[in-house]
């Protein structure tokens, strides 16, 4: 994948925490119910921790009970890339940041039926929150 923002492995390691690097650059997953944004409810915007691209709005966040921050839609469709992930012996849809190619989490089709029916199940470490200005 050729994302617009390209950095060397050393540059990514220098810019990200070890947990952010493990998730964003190595497609890791944080343990359920441990992420800072799992139960976060402030109004604002969730950005990619790797490149600050706006990914999700707080009004699309909901409590799915899955153990990770869940959103029913993205801020703009061109901000993420979806691809098949067969890494654990099953087919899932991986969600990547279109800006830097960082692994964000996975997309499932078991979200709220009254909205999109989607559950963007994201890793907190892949996100940074920007509080809404009042």
Three-class SS string for the chain?
CCCCCCCCHHHHHHHCCHHHHHHHCCCCCCCCCCCCCCCCCCCEEEEECCCCCEEEEHHHEECCCCCCCEECCCCCHHHEEEEEECCCCCCEEEEEECCCCCEEEEEECCCCCCCCCCEEEECHHHEEEEECCC
Q: Which residues are catalytic?
A: 121
Taking the CA of residue 125 as centre, how many other CA atoms within 13 Å lie in the half-sphere pointing to its CB?
Answer: 20
Residue 124 C-alpha from the chain's centroid: 7
């Amino acid at each position: 994948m050729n994302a617009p923002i390209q950095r060397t492995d050393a540059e990514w390691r220098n810019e990200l925490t070890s947990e952010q690097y493990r998730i964003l650059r190595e497609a890791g997953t944080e343990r359920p119910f441990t992420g800072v944004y799992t139960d976060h409810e402030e109004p604002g915007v969730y950005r990619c921790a790797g490149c600050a691209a706006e990914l999700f709005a707080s009004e699309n966040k909901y409590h799915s009970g899955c153990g990770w921050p869940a959103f029913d839609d993205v801020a703009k469709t061109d901000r993420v890339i979806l691809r098949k992930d067969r890494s654990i012996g099953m087919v899932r849809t991986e969600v990547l940041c279109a800006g830097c190619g960082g692994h964000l989490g996975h997309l499932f089709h078991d979200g709220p039926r009254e909205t999109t029916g989607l559950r963007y199940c994201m890793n907190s470490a892949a996100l940074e929150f920007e509080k809404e200005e009042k």
